[in-house]
Amino acid sequence: MEKKWWHSSVVYQVYPRSFQDSNGDGIGDLRGIIQRLDYLAELGIDVIWLSPVYQSPNDDNGYDISDYQAISPEFGTMEDMERLIEEARKRNIRMVMDLVVNHTSDEHPWFIEAQKGRDNAFRDFYIWRDPAEDGGLPNELLSVFSGPAWEFDENSGQYYLHLYSKKQPDLNWENPEVREQIWNMMNFWLEKGIGGFRMDVIDTIGKVPDELITTNGPKLHDYLQEMNQRTFGNYDVLTVGETWGATPEIAKLYSDPDREELSMVFQFEHIGLDQQPDKPKWDTKPLDFIELKAVFTKWQTELDGKGWNSLFWNNHDIPRIVSNWGDDSEEYRVVSAKMFATFLHLLKGTPYIYQGEEIGMINTPVSSIEEIDDIESKNMYHERIAQGCDPQAILASINKKGRDNSRRPMQWDATVHAGFTSGTPWLALNPLYREINVAADYLKEDSIFKHYQKLIQLRKEHELVVWGEYRELLPEDPQLYVYERSYNGETWLVVINFYGTTAVYKDPSRQADSIILSNYMNSGMELSNLMLRPYEAVVYQLS
């Protein structure tokens, strides 16, 4: 496979609303990100994926865009954006923009026009259907944010499709004019020198609503090939698609370099392993660790040489992993955060760090729906209340899976509002910010930040981390995840104790030469009888 810069990169996701406020209005902004670039450069990341900063009425916090070529005033100006690209570039960091083109905001001029009537020139930019024969919904498609995916438009007597909120009407990708407009917009950004695109719910652009097909529609890959040819194919950039329903077979369609589509996709199979099959994400079950390992191994082996993995535990839609599958108590937060980091960063693929992950930020449970901002959680709450569900049970689901968990402001230091803002934060901080923050973590001998720094360094210094072959050992072990990476005659062994109790690893056939990295002092060297402490994660060089 031809080597590209993004194969050996580490990406850091910034959720701008919650990263750093520079003017005291309680909302993070572009100038705030510029102030923190030195911090990110010190961490060692190569790329920033910036969640949307475009003009938006914020029904879904920027994922509902009313102008793709304007910066939302609360985040700054186009000049600020250009400065951010330039300042990042000076530090060898590239800016990857969020591309949200499955839908626009209902306040986008295209939709405002389209709503004017059936014969408007922009009508066909969106997906309209007549009512069913009984006058009801065109069909039973549901919105990801609860309720039907169809909204009635009084003016024209038709319904429009919205797979997300009513304020996020779906674009009609079948219309070549829609695609043309999107290519122009993408080229506008590419010409500004950005480092690529993260493509929001890109697997839905080929939908066939009349056949109830939403993801992986028949024309999806044609559109992506056309997109590649007309836009980023002429640039050396990173493109990553958000594809909730991808299997390894499907992921190869996107990321096999011969097909000229995307660099890689986010697949979510591991993320759903604490959910009941075929139920909404709110209906959880205990994580099956054997299954978790099998999923990672499947993706590592099946994409090998024919595609590329993106590696992540966290993003702005997913609760904090250290709280959900690790242990965020005072005793084990630090070691378990480092365990997850080690687990992921030694795998083959491009790792993504979500802001605050590098200092072990945790979930923020709430006791009332009033404390929640996220539209997905709020809609689900009201829907289930109407169905007669117990409010406490609903809140428990929100505390476990809700998106606000990862959207709380970044915890920089122990001063008021954690150094995030001098004003009133748009969303309350995690109450533990005085203990868990960048400044405090930094001073610690066992800093999580420094552990991430080392992992990133290892990737830079050892081709083995980027290109080495992956092999899992002990797939049936109920507590340990053990894998090897080998490259040019060198082999590293990664031994992970996933749980909060001690474990023993016995491997008389292998010999450790040295310890490359551990989340504890004095980790054992005798692989024939290795005692592992709670959440211990060690990387060995084998002899």
Active site (annotated) includes residue 507: no
In the complex, least distance from residue 405 CB atom to ligand GLC, rounded to whole angstroms? 13
Cβ-proximal residues to 295 (8 Å cutoff; 6+ apart), any chain: 269, 270, 273
- Helices 448-461/333-345 angle, 10° precision: 10
Which one, of 528, 404, 450, lies nearest residue 61 by Cα?
404
Check the CA dihedral 422-428-429-432 and report its sign: positive
Should residue 513 be labelled a site residue for Ca ion when binding is judged by CB under 5 A? no
Distances (CA, A) of 112 to 12, 109, 124, 445: 35, 5, 12, 56
Which one, of 397, 381, 241, 425, lies nearest residue 319 by Cα?
397
User: Which of Ca ion, ligand GLC, none has residue 27 at its interface (CB below 5 to 8 Å by kind)?
Assistant: Ca ion
Q: Which of 11, 14, 18, 21 forms a contact with Ca ion (CB under 5 A)?
A: 21
User: Which of Ca ion, ligand GLC, none has residue 100 at its interface (CB below 5 to 8 Å by kind)?
Assistant: ligand GLC
Nearer to ligand GLC, 201 or 494 (CB): 201
User: Which of ligand GLC, Ca ion, none has residue 201 at its interface (CB below 5 to 8 Å by kind)?
Assistant: ligand GLC
Nearer to ligand GLC, 380 or 530 (CB): 380
In the complex, least distance from residue 296 CB atom to ligand GLC, rounded to whole angstroms? 22
Nearer to ligand GLC, 13 or 255 (CB): 13
Nearer to ligand GLC, 60 or 106 (CB): 60
Give the footprint of ligand GLC on this chain (CB under 6 A).
60, 63, 100, 164, 200-201, 242, 316-317
Which one, of 484, 477, 469, lies nearest residue 516 by Cα?
484
Nearer to Ca ion, 16 or 138 (CB): 16
Which residues, in sequence order, are bridge partners of residue 185?
none
Nearer to Ca ion, 325 or 426 (CB): 426
Nearer to Ca ion, 25 or 373 (CB): 25
Exposure class string for 406-428: b at 16+ Cβ within 10 A, else e: bbbbbbbbeeebbbbbeeebbbe
Tell me which stretch binds Ca ion (CB under 5 A): 26-34, 271-279, 498-506, 534-542.
26-34
* Residue 526 C-beta-side C-alpha neighbours within 13 Å: 5
CB 76 within 8 A of CB 185: no
Give the H/E segment covering residue 85: helix 78-90
User: Which of Ca ion, ligand GLC, none has residue 77 at its interface (CB below 5 to 8 Å by kind)?
Assistant: none
Should residue 27 be labelled a site residue for Ca ion when binding is judged by CB under 5 A? yes
Nearer to ligand GLC, 54 or 535 (CB): 54
Q: Which of 25, 87, 469, 477 forms a contact with Ca ion (CB under 5 A)?
A: 25
Check the CA dihedral 220-225-228-233 and report its sign: positive
Q: Is 402 helix (H, G, I), strand (E, B) or coil?
A: coil
User: Which of ligand GLC, Ca ion, none has residue 151 at its interface (CB below 5 to 8 Å by kind)?
Assistant: none
Which one, of 541, 352, 322, 328, lies nearest residue 452 by Cα?
352
Q: Is 69 helix (H, G, I), strand (E, B) or coil?
A: strand
Tell me which stretch binds Ca ion (CB under 5 A): 15-23, 40-48, 260-268, 447-455.
15-23
Nearer to ligand GLC, 103 or 459 (CB): 103
Q: What are the φ and ψ backbone dihedral angles of 357, each rounded to 5 degrees?
A: -60, -35
User: Which of ligand GLC, Ca ion, none has residue 302 at its interface (CB below 5 to 8 Å by kind)?
Assistant: none
The amino acid present at 490, given as its one-letter code, is E
In the complex, least distance from residue 39 CB atom to Ca ion, rounded to whole angstroms? 18
User: Which of Ca ion, ligand GLC, none has residue 453 at its interface (CB below 5 to 8 Å by kind)?
Assistant: none
349: left (phi over 0), alpha (psi -120 to 50) or beta: left
In the complex, least distance from residue 320 CB atom to ligand GLC, rounded to whole angstroms? 16
Binding mask 202-241 for Ca ion (x = CB under 5 A): ----------------------------------------
The amino acid present at 497, given as its one-letter code, is N
Tell me which stretch binds Ca ion (CB under 5 A): 6-14, 22-30, 65-73, 373-381.
22-30
Active site (annotated) includes residue 242: yes
In the complex, least distance from residue 301 CB atom to ligand GLC, rounded to whole angstroms? 27
In the complex, least distance from residue 331 CB atom to ligand GLC, rounded to whole angstroms? 33
Tell me which stretch binds Ca ion (CB under 5 A): 16-24, 133-141, 144-152, 380-388.
16-24
Q: Which residue is nearest to ligand GLC (CB)?
A: 63
Of 242, 269, 317, 404, the active-site residue reads 242
Quickly tell me which residue has 């989340």 as its tokens.
519
Please count the other Cβ atoms lying within 10 Å of the Cβ belonging to residue 139. 16
CB 7 within 8 A of CB 56: no
User: Which of Ca ion, ligand GLC, none has residue 29 at its interface (CB below 5 to 8 Å by kind)?
Assistant: Ca ion
Cβ-proximal residues to 472 (8 Å cutoff; 6+ apart), any chain: 293, 296, 297, 300, 481, 482, 483
Nearer to ligand GLC, 17 or 417 (CB): 17
Q: Which of 19, 20, 29, 384 forms a contact with Ca ion (CB under 5 A)?
A: 29
In the complex, least distance from residue 32 CB atom to Ca ion, rounded to whole angstroms? 7
CA 257 to chain centre: 22
Should residue 77 be labelled a site residue for Ca ion when binding is judged by CB under 5 A? no
User: Which of Ca ion, ligand GLC, none has residue 128 at its interface (CB below 5 to 8 Å by kind)?
Assistant: none
In the complex, least distance from residue 53 CB atom to Ca ion, rounded to whole angstroms? 12
CA angle 81, 353, 244 (to 5 degrees): 95
Which one, of 62, 64, 30, lies nearest residue 48 by Cα?
30
Active site residues: 200, 242
Sites of contact with Ca ion (CB under 5 A): 21, 23, 25, 27, 29
